[in-house]
Amino acid sequence: MAEVIVVTSGKGGVGKTTTSASLAVGLSNRGYKTVVIDFDIGLRNLDLIMGCERRVVYDFINVIRGEANLNQALIRDKHAKELYILPASQTRDKDALTQEGVQKVLDELQKTFDYIVCDSPAGIEHGAQMAMYFADHAVVVTNPEVSSVRDSDRMLGLLSSKTKRAEERREPVKEHLLITRYSPKRVTRGDMMSLEDVNEILAIPLLGVIPESQAVLRASNAGDPVILDEESDAGQAYADAIERFLGEDKPFRFVSEKVHWIKRLFSIKEKEHA
Amino acid sequence: MSLLNKLEKIVHYFQPPQKTARVAKERLQIIIAHERQRDNPDYLTLMQKELLEVISKYVQINKDDIKIELDRKDGCSILELNIVLPASGVVA
């Protein structure tokens, strides 16, 4: 039985698709059979981030409508062994995404996969609600910025009321906070809320902190999820987040400012004097 | 520009910049607490009404005798229910 993970945020542009791609690649590289689904009907983008845009023939809506079967629509990922992508429709109306249709597709995927990652569209409309409805886990992607934190809080409200688990009064969706575009330097300067600040407000377990990184744009330029850039800070931070998701205890990296060795020397001196 | 204005600008230049992160956090705490309250009243008032109906079957009470409060902190919600029963008022 697969576990369904929704990657959501409310606000756009905070890194949902980047996160979905890296989460999917990370899980599959750890040996879990994974499928990642783009729920952003009409604004397909996961295919670009995963680098498979030229191999899209059939999509999610085609499968829901019975115009293609799942095997025809699933694209085998070129990076990871046991990873498949189900792209969103680029042309169809988002109303084609019916709850029964989504259920049917998820039920079929449940049979063969360990993890189903649902990349949610921005907003709190139908598409976003469909992406979260069947979720067992929710990765809430948040920038340390006021509008993003507020929207994330709204999503937490929806997760606890508008999901199947909530409606059936089962154990609630397991929530995980992922802070992205984090800049320790700006936090030290007092220009950016710290991860402790954000965590205090949203009050859900912290899954990971992804630093603001040049590697993210490079990765999307190339169509290779950033977790594959093992040299990069963002790639390593995503890898850590995957380990935590799988239950391992990983210390947080890239969350404090790198202090130049000369500065550090001075601060030691100061301490000695004090 | 008056001399005073100029002086103010100079003083301002040397002041440490305000820590905007703190402002952000405070604003968020206020607005989110407000919005979380707003999300809930639907079911709270409904529940209050239903509870009143159930309790009224057995005990005579007024609408004001039931107080419901919802507090949310550290990821858990605390529902506080306060019902004042009259000394004598058993119906059945």
Report the alpha-carbon distance of residue A149 to residue B31 in Å, rounded.
Answer: 11
Return phi, psi of residue B63, to 5°. -60, -35
CA B57-B63-B66 angle, 5° bins: 85
Please check whether residue B29 touches A, CB under 8 A.
yes
Beta carbons of A193 and B21 less than 8 Å apart? yes
> Contact A51/A222 with Cβ under 8 angstroms?
yes
- Asked if the model's pLDDT at residue B87 lies above 90, the reply is no
CB A181 within 8 A of CB A144: yes
For A270, the token pair is: 């100061």
- pLDDT tens by residue, chain A, 274 residues: 899 999 999 999 999 999 999 999 999 999 999 999 999 999 999 999 999 999 999 999 999 999 999 999 999 999 998 999 999 998 777 788 999 999 999 999 999 999 999 999 999 999 999 999 999 999 999 999 999 999 999 999 999 999 999 999 999 999 999 999 999 999 999 999 999 999 999 999 999 999 999 999 999 999 999 999 999 999 999 999 999 999 999 999 999 987 667 766 776 555 555 4
Q: To 5 degrees, how large is the angle CA B43–CA A11–CA A198?
A: 80
For residue A195, the chain B residues in CB contact (below 8 A) are none
Most A CBs within 10 A among B15, B18, B25, hence the mutation to make, goes to B25
Chain B residues inside the 8 Å CB shell of A146: 24, 27-28
Q: Are A184 and A257 in contact (CB under 8 A)?
A: yes
CB-closest option in B17, B19, B32 to A153: B32
Any chain A CB within 8 A of the CB of B40?
A: no
Residues 6+ apart with CB under 8 A from B59: B85, B86, B89, B90, B91
B38 touches chain A (CB under 8 A): no
B22 chain-A contacts, CB cut-off 8 A? 190
Fold of B3-83: Cell Cycle; Chain A (3.30.1070)
* Res A233: pLDDT: 97
Distance CA B86, CA B62 (A): 10
Residue B27 has pLDDT above 90, yes or no: yes
Q: What is the pLDDT of residues B52-80, one digit of tens each?
A: 888 888 888 887 888 877 776 666 677 88
A194 inside 8 A of chain B by CB: yes
- Where does the pLDDT of residue B9 fall: very low under 50, low under 70, confident under 90, or very high at 90 and above? confident
Tell me the residues of chain A between 129 and 158 that have a Cβ less than 8 Å away from chain B.
145-146, 149-150, 153-154, 157
Residue B38: pLDDT band by 50, 70, 90 thresholds?
A: low
Residue A144 burial (CB < 10 Å; 0-12/13-18/19+)? buried
Beta strands in A157-230 (DSSP E): 174-182, 206-211
The DSSP symbol for A260 reads P
Where along chain B do its domains lie?
3-83
Task: Quote helix, strand, coil % in chain A, to nearest 5.
Answer: 45, 15, 40
pLDDT of residue B92: 47
3-class SS of residue B6: helix
Question: Rounded to whole angstroms, how far apart are CA atoms A130 and A119?
Answer: 11
Residue A107 burial class via C-beta count within 10 angstroms: exposed 0-12, middle 13-18, buried 19 and up: exposed
Q: If you measure CA to CA, which chain B residue comes closest to A202?
A: B75
d(C-alpha A181, C-alpha A194), whole Å: 12
Tell me how many degrees the CA angle A239-A240-A243 measures, rounded to the nearest 5: 90
Pair of tokens at residue A90: 């680029």
Q: Is the pLDDT of residue B89 over 60?
A: no
CB contacts, 8 Å: A190 with chain B: 17, 19-22
Strands A206-211 and A115-119: unpaired
Q: Rounded to an integer, what distance in angstroms lies between the CA atom of residue A120 and that of residue A10?
A: 9
Question: Residue B82 is which amino acid?
Answer: N
**Contact (CB<8Å) B25/A201:** yes
Contact A83, A36 (CB under 8 A): yes
- Does the distance separating the beta carbons of B32 and A201 come in below 8 Å? yes
Q: What is the pLDDT of residue B74?
A: 65
pLDDT at position A274:
46
Give the H/E segment covering residue A191.
none
Which position has the higher pLDDT, A224 or B36? A224
